[in-house]
Amino acid sequence: MRLLLAAALLACPGLAMADPTETLLRDLSNAPGPSGFEEAVRAIMVPRMKAASEDLRYDGLGSVIARQGSSGPRVMLDAHMDELGGVLRRVTPDGFLSMQMLGGWLDQALAGQRWVIIGSKGPVHAVSSIRDIHLAAAEERGSLIKRDAVFLDVGAGSAAEVAALGIAPGDPVVPDSGFEVLNGTANYAGKAWDDRVGCAVLLMAMERLKVTGHPNQIFFVATVQEEIGLRGARTATAIVKPDIGIAIEGGVTGDAGGAHPEESQVKLGHGPGLFLYDSSALPNRKLVSLIRKVAGEAGVPLQFDLVQGYGDDSAEMQTVAGGAPTVNLVVPARYTHVHTGVINRHDFDQTVDLVVALLRRLDAKTVADLRDFTP
């Protein structure tokens, strides 16, 4: 056995130097988990959450709730496990399949892509149809292909051949887009950074705080079904009843080609982001000030953004039990809600540092001040 291991290490020198953070990000990104079908992601999260917590349970939708600490303020740190995907709707007589999309897809992101269907016999690879340029009329070539015109091709020639593959209406569909370090840079390409990058922040912060300690009851919550209406956050928050809520998300950037400066001010590789506004929630102003201070003391650069057309789990956390101060912290990501996005490793590491420092700062007096609106 030792000889086999030694031979493997010689054949693959990088194997001995595997980066555990990179491995975690790879595993989470590659795991299939569209809204309502988060099992593969939950299987990664639960063992690590259980090992770093004193109590672990689930809500009625499948969100995971792990607690550290038995006294002090109730702080909820949240990341969602689900990703954009789809569910099979119908099989045509000639073996094509239509999809019900799950989450906020752009129609132009659907055609001509690779997908994986999670069927009863295992994963089935598929390609989404697209009108062939040699057949398209001139006026079609620059037009949008609407989602109802996109079908999945699994190589089958009939509905019976589709059934033989072990797939049927109701089965989940996810993008086929594997994790990759982009050309030796600190940038990582992969699917589902919204919000697997947040899940990784949650796990690593949880494990560090188990060692260093903190003055709170922290509820680390991995939610389900965020992309279809913040549903897991609603049910999990009803159980936790937090005094303070912190959502960890994959953010957006304004630094890709063709971006408009008023849409986003965040740049990849310039540190974690904090949302001062999004369409679903406004952050607590005192909490924003505290995070600015903590980031400065920790030497973490902090970016600020205001984004239209964006929702996050803090919108549910802020409404429970009479209201709770909340904020949305993000790891910036290029190209969200499509097959492949890009994050920066330094942004990720600094987000973990900031979250750990913040959670250690939130003692009873600080939380009481954040919740005090006396004029």
Active site residues per annotation = 226
Give the count of alpha carbons within 13 A of 253, CB side only.
23
> How far apart, in whole angstroms, are the C-alpha atoms of residue 120 and residue 203?
30
Output the six-digit token pair for 69: 């600490």
Q: Is the dihedral of CA 34, 210, 312, 244 positive or negative?
A: positive
Under DSSP, is residue 285 helix (H, G, I), strand (E, B) or coil? Answer: helix
Residues 75 and 53: their CA atoms lie apart, in Å, by 14
The CA distances from residue 60 to 42, 63, 220, 290, 325, in Å, are 14, 8, 16, 34, 25
Q: Which tokens sit at 238?
A: 């009803």
Paired strand residues for 55: 67
Give strand ranges (E) for the chain.
55-58, 64-68, 74-80, 85-91, 96-102, 114-119, 122-128, 152-153, 172-175, 180-181, 187-190, 217-223, 244-250, 273-278, 303-307, 326-331, 333-334, 341-344
Angle between helices 193-212 and 345-361 (to 10 degrees): 50
Residue pointed to by tokens 């400065």: 296
CA gap 237, 313 in Å, rounded: 10
313 neighbors 226 (Cβ within 8 angstroms): yes
132 SS3 class? coil
Q: Do the beta carbons of residue 291 and residue 329 sit within 8 Å?
A: yes
3-state secondary structure of 23: helix
67 DSSP β-pair partners: 55, 219
